Amino acid sequence: MDTSVAPSAKTPENGITANAAPKISVKGVTKVFSSKRGEVTALKDLSLDIRDGEFLVIVGASGCGKSTLLNLVAGFDSATHGEVLLDGRPVTGITPECGMIFQQYALFPWKTVQENVEFGLKMKRMPKSEREERAAKFIELVGLNGFERTYPHHLSGGMKQRVSIARSLANDPQVMLLDEPFAALDAMTRQVLQEQLVRIYEKHRKTIIFITHSIDEALLLSSRIVVMTARPGRIAQEITNDLPHPRNADVQLSERYLELKRHIWSSVQAEVLKSMEVETGQ
């Protein structure tokens, strides 16, 4: 793993202390799947620590195991070897401490915005008046006031994703896991939701792991970026994102932004080429 761009002991931008105990620790994880063509090793001996309150973005070639890693952290699946720890405890199944947001919105079509956001709270048997108040708070936070009684089929893609984010936040998870949540959206909506997610992060300081194929998105959102190798997935590089906030047009045109983008693109491109060589047998 390239450690030439290692994080400093403390990032002034967000106050995250690097030498504190990690919120999430992935220790020597290997994940092997069985298929008709035999066994496929998605991840191999992967180790990674994520600090409390960190916004970690993972990029890498298609098929490198990004979503597999996220599923292991969420408890949707288990490692073949190694372990995932949350606050020092092994992740052995789905836990309310982690909230997952997918590319597809996973809303209940027969429930209104309000009912979708309240769903997890209802499962926790929270009193009706309390969950209504809590859901309303997060519906307002994502800018959906006035749509509380609207059903998902009347919402745009961006609005549906806002409902997903509000529902996750209403459940107050310690960790938010986002698997390419904005990939299917148009460029303008994507930018609006990126800015909104940054504001939510700055307000609530959840630990976030975010998967994307977009280097620009990674640079706009993250406090740290991890580049994964071609399959089997390992950590190729860890890069501290020291760009100042707000990451507006001036920042995106700065020499530092372009330097980081070139550096990450070079690393990702190398892994994409390796992946293509493996697929073609060259």
Residues 54-100: pLDDT tens digits? 999 999 988 899 999 999 999 999 999 999 999 999 999 998 899 99
Q: Can you name the residues that pair with 29 across neighbouring β-strands?
A: 46
The confidence score (pLDDT) of residue 2 equals 46
Burial (CB count <10 Å: 0-12, 13-18, 19+), residue 69: buried
Residue 236: CA count within 13 A, CB half-sphere: 25
CB < 8 Å & 24+ apart, contacts of 13-20: 13/223, 13/242, 13/244, 13/245, 14/53, 14/54, 14/55, 14/223, 15/53, 16/51, 16/52, 16/53, 16/54, 16/223, 17/51, 18/51, 20/51, 20/52
Query: Is the pLDDT confidence value at 13 over 80?
Result: no
Percentage of the chain modeled with pLDDT above 70: 91
The confidence score (pLDDT) of residue 105 equals 80
The confidence score (pLDDT) of residue 38 equals 87
Q: Which CATH architecture has domain 24-97+173-281?
A: 3-Layer(aba) Sandwich (3.40)
Query: Is the pLDDT confidence value at 126 over 70?
Result: yes
